[in-house]
Structure 1
Amino acid sequence: MIVSEMITKMIEYSNGNLHDINHFMKVYAYAKTIGECEKLDKNTQTVLEVAAIVHDIACPLCREKYGNTNGKYQEEEGEILVAEFLKDTGYSEEFINRVIF
């Protein structure tokens, strides 16, 4: 799956929450720019971009479950959500584990 497809998938996952969509798109743009300026290799650049896209994937669950998006809660909940989100994307297990890290 290419990065633009990941963005589309994350937009759908965000269920119309414009704040969340706007935030991950800004983080993605900054991360992409920094990675390109640092001349990262293609795989590392893709890991960086995908990680930026999914970095707040646990926010909706945390809002529902805990009433806030505290980083500690996101860390607890995010790993499973990212693994599930990336499971059928064609990325390798090593790639997915690096994104999760």
Structure 2
Amino acid sequence: MASMSQLTMAMVTLYSGDPKRIQHFMKVYAFAKMIAEEEQLGAKQREIVEAAALVHDIGIHAAEKKYRSAAGEYQEIEGPPIARAMLMALDFSPALINRVCDMVAHHHSYDKIDEVDLQILIEADFMVNAYEDGLPKRNIKSFRDKIFRTETGIHYLNELFALEN
């Protein structure tokens, strides 16, 4: 079975020449890993969260090429097959591959959060996107109140953006 280091290297290679996107998935990975640890997920679920965080936007280049857009809906369409191929090539387990691909297919579908692993991915991705996109505090607070569920994710978001409860 492959390691997160091998998956990270594969993603860096895939995104060669795109430092903005490499830095994005690395930041999402760091937040997702910390939230999963603080929320005391089991080892298998933490591995799923970490792998999903690394590959969550894996379909972005394909979406830009095919649809001329990096919109989340297109990433959700294009990402799972690419993620599946990469994870299979690195010899991850079928269970991990299936769950990670499902998470990639829904990481912009906030009404389809079915498990804590997807919840954590969405929270970590939002934290990074909110900063990278320069979202106003009122929008961040509104998203927090509607979507965030983990104590750790809420704490990190509040601290990052100096939000009040």
TM-score range relative to shorter protein: over 0.9
Secondary structure of the residue aligned to 1:12 is helix
For 1:22, the equivalent position in structure 2 comes to 23
Q: How far did residue 13 of structure 1 move? A: 0.6
Moved more, 69-78 or 46-55: 69-78
For 1:9, the equivalent position in structure 2 comes to 10
**CA distance in structure 2 between the partners assigned to 1:16 and 1:7 by the alignment:** 15
Which runs of no fewer than 5 residues in structure 2 stay unpaired? 103-165
**CA distance in structure 1 between the partners assigned to 2:51 and 2:33 by the alignment:** 10
**CA distance in structure 1 between the partners assigned to 2:32 and 2:3 by the alignment:** 16
For 1:42, the equivalent position in structure 2 comes to 43
Counterpart amino acid of residue 22 in structure 2: I
**What is the number of equivalent residue pairs in this alignment?**
101
Counterpart amino acid of residue 25 in structure 2: F
Q: How far did residue 14 of structure 1 move? A: 0.5
Secondary structure of the residue aligned to 1:15 is coil
- Higher-Rg structure is 2
**CA distance in structure 1 between the partners assigned to 2:39 and 2:99 by the alignment:** 19
Moved more, 10-19 or 48-57: 10-19
Superposition pairs for residues 1-101 of structure 1, below 5 Å? 1-101=2-102
Moved more, 88-97 or 45-54: 88-97
TM-score, length basis structure 2: 0.59
Q: How far did residue 63 of structure 1 move? A: 1.3
**CA distance in structure 1 between the partners assigned to 2:26 and 2:34 by the alignment:** 12
- Deviations along 1:33-91, whole A, 9 cap, x unmatched? 00010111111001000000000000111111111111111111111111111112121
Secondary structure of the residue aligned to 1:87 is helix
Q: Is the 8 A contact 2:60 2:78 kept in 1?
A: no
**CA distance in structure 2 between the partners assigned to 1:90 and 1:67 by the alignment:** 32
Secondary structure of the residue aligned to 2:89 is coil
**CA distance in structure 2 between the partners assigned to 1:76 and 1:88 by the alignment:** 20
**CA distance in structure 2 between the partners assigned to 1:88 and 1:99 by the alignment:** 14
Counterpart amino acid of residue 11 in structure 2: M
| Identity value in percent | 38
